[in-house]
Amino acid sequence: MLVPNGRVIMISGANRGIGSAIAKRLNAAGYRLSLGARDLSSLATLTDEWNTKNFLKAHYEAEDVASHRTWIDKTVNKFGRLDGLINNAGMAARVTVEDADDGTLDRMWEVNVKGPLSMVREALPHLRRSGAGRVVNIASLAGKIVYDAGIGYSMTKFAAVALSHATRHAGWADGVRCTALCPGYVATDMTQAIESFPRKDMTKPEDIAEVVTTVLALSNSASIAEVTINCRDEPMV
């Protein structure tokens, strides 16, 4: 098992939902954190009582590639190292097979796939130097199962799973391990409008944070490539 103390982890979309739960859990575990968000003021309450030596806040906009390199540079300048990247920021919009709304689909590609890919590219040299670098992509069960004709989000999350496997291959020889985390419904803002399934039975963001903490702590010889998390009985591929 890896000891958290001293290790530096970046989390995108750390300001709310799953990202915020991961940040709280990793801070409690003793990691040093680099928190990425579109609006830095939205991170204020999260870090209110944290020791400023142990965290950094930086601008992360998935659709602005320049912000990716700047965030990584700030992180390495402050902490002198980088040990983990949690690609969490994401968006969900309904695009069906017969919709001609490529604008929404293109945005989802930028946020759910191209942003994370760019972050992996920028982070890999530093993660290799760590000797035990970790990447966790918050994909989705929609990246494992196609539920209906709503193909847009699912396509991007299948791609996020593919990115995870490719990252594992790219970094393996240098100790980088990558996990695709694939939850079903999680009780966050993203699922606020879901009426077909009771909110009280959705997975809690804190449970996702617990899984991330475990995956980060496992040694190089115990890599978990994919984690699927169900809150209901559903068929798996």
Ligand X SMILES: NC(=O)c1ccc[n+]([C@@H]2O[C@H](COP(=O)([O-])OP(=O)(O)OC[C@H]3O[C@@H](n4cnc5c(N)ncnc54)[C@H](OP(=O)(O)O)[C@@H]3O)[C@@H](O)[C@H]2O)c1
Residues acting as catalytic residues: 153
Nearest distance from residue 69's CB to ligand X, in Å? 15
State the minimum distance, in angstroms, from the CB of residue 112 to ligand X: 6
Q: Which is nearer to ligand X, 22 or 130 (CB)?
A: 22
Output the CA torsion sign for 11, 15, 20, 24. positive
Enter the tokens of residue 25: 């859990």
Q: Which of 68, 180, 177, 183 is nearest to 114 (CA)?
A: 68
What is the side-by-side strand order in the sheet with 84-87?
A: 55-59, 32-37, 8-12, 84-87, 134-138, 177-183, 226-229
Supply the minimum distance, in Å, between the C-beta of residue 156 and ligand X: 8
Rounded to the nearest whole angstrom, what is the least distance from the CB of residue 140 to ligand X in the complex?
4
d(CA 28, CA 206): 12
CB of 194 to ligand X, least distance (A): 8
Whichever of 130 and 161 has its CB closer to ligand X, that residue is: 161
217 versus 229: smaller Cβ distance to ligand X: 229
Sequence length of the chain is 237
Which CB, 186 or 211, lies closer to ligand X? Answer: 186
Count of CB atoms situated within 10 Å of the CB of 101: 13
- What number of helices (H) and strands (E) belong to the chain? 7, 7
Q: Which is nearer to ligand X, 111 or 117 (CB)?
A: 111
For 80, other C-beta atoms within 10 Å of its C-beta total: 9
Q: What are the strands, taking DSSP E only, across 13-130?
A: 32-37, 55-59, 84-87
Applying CB under 6 A, which residues contact ligand X?
13, 15-19, 38-39, 42, 60-63, 88-92, 111, 138, 140, 183, 185-186, 188-191
